[in-house]
Amino acid sequence: MQLPNLSQYDTIYLGSQTWAMTLSQPMKAFLLEYGGELSNKKIAPFLSEGSYGSGDSTELIREFIARDGSKNNTYTSALVVDGNRVDESDVEVKRWLKNI
């Protein structure tokens, strides 16, 4: 995968699914590889989950980004959408986007 030059962006939206109440392995691998390139960015995580909750996913996003050397990040509250109710999430998504 080739990551675009992120220096032109102030906010990075990170979307992932939740697997067994934790961050999915593909997102963990992505953050371990590229987390260091996210310094000085606002990180806006959004997650889907299947009715069991997001578990430690948002904490792991912060941990994995910092582990790769990223510094001076700010984080928005995470948007967590129940995959079984995604058709009812429009209001929640709009509210989250306004707060960013």
The pTM is what? 0.88
Distance CA 100, CA 98 (A): 5
pLDDT at 2: 81
Q: What is the mean pLDDT of the chain?
A: 91
32 in any annotated domain = yes
Domain CATH for 36: 3.40.50.360
pLDDT at 57: 93
Quick one: what percent of the chain has pLDDT higher than 90?
65
Confidence band (pLDDT; 50, 70, 90) for 85? Answer: confident
Has residue 9 got a pLDDT over 90? Answer: yes
5 in any annotated domain = no
For residue 95, the enclosing domain spans 10-99
Q: How many domains does the structure of the chain reveal?
A: 1
50 in any annotated domain = yes
DSSP 55-85: TTHHHHHHHHHHHTT--S-EEPPPEEEEGGG
Buried b (16+ CB within 10 A) or exposed e, 63-82: ebbeeeebeebeebebbbbb
